[in-house]
Amino acid sequence: MIRPSGFPALGPAFDAGHPPPPLRPLLVLGDAVTTDHISPNGAIRAESPAGQWLIAQGTPPARLSNFGLRRGNPEVCGRGMFDNPLLENELMDGRRGNLARWRGQVLSVWDAARAMQADGAQGIILAGRNYGAGSSRDWAAKGLRMLGVLAVLAESFERIHRSNLIGMGVLPLTFQPGQTRHDLALQGEEELQIDIGPQGLAPGAALGLRVRRGGRRRPR
């Protein structure tokens, strides 16, 4: 079982009477994932999705600058989501950096998320304790909607970041005490279905989570 955290004012994906769509795991992360992991503030690398987009617009590689100076450009900041060399997506078997997997291909997080959306899928991020730690950054929540992420399921959240997620219509969910992402043993190809009971979405309410693996569903 899982539960919503906070008071979500969410979009049509979570309207009463309309069960949310099945979600696909985009990232499985550990403890203390900071806003600098989620929305980095450092230099834009030429080979990154943001760098490639800027170069395609005519920006010389030597003048790509950094994400902090380009906060007003959604095309740059969306592509910069999770572009941190220290990021560890546990679906990548120990490899660090801006990496995710979709349909067996290893891609940047941006490219994997866009491919997922092109296939009609919506994403979910799973994490450990204190997701969203560090300084508050609007793009750490805004960018998730550009990635097609509808929910984050973590052991706990940094309070301000949780509020930012709610404001962007991304559902923050917490595991029941004693449960973690490890209990789900995700490989990356599963579908996760959030079951909202008759009580609807309410802070602290128990929700169901069904994991479909190879055509079989396992309730959690």
Q: What is the mean pLDDT of the chain?
A: 88
- Supply the pTM of this predicted model: 0.88
Looking at residue 57, its amino acid is Q
Confidence of residue 48 (pLDDT cuts 50, 70, 90): very high
Looking at residue 163, its amino acid is S
Q: Could you name the CATH architecture of 2-39+121-219?
A: Alpha-Beta Barrel (3.20)
Q: Report pLDDT for 159.
A: 93
Looking at residue 206, its amino acid is A
pLDDT, tens digit, 9 for 90 and up, residues 151-171:
999 999 999 999 999 999 899
What are the residue boundaries of the structural domains of the chain, listed by start? 2-39+121-219, 41-79
pLDDT, tens digit, 9 for 90 and up, residues 105-129:
999 999 999 999 999 999 999 999 9
- Residue identified by tokens 């979009």 is 11
Bridge partners (DSSP) listed for residue 219:
210
Contact 78, 144 (CB under 8 A): no
Confidence of residue 6 (pLDDT cuts 50, 70, 90): very low
Is 70 exceeded by the pLDDT of residue 99? yes
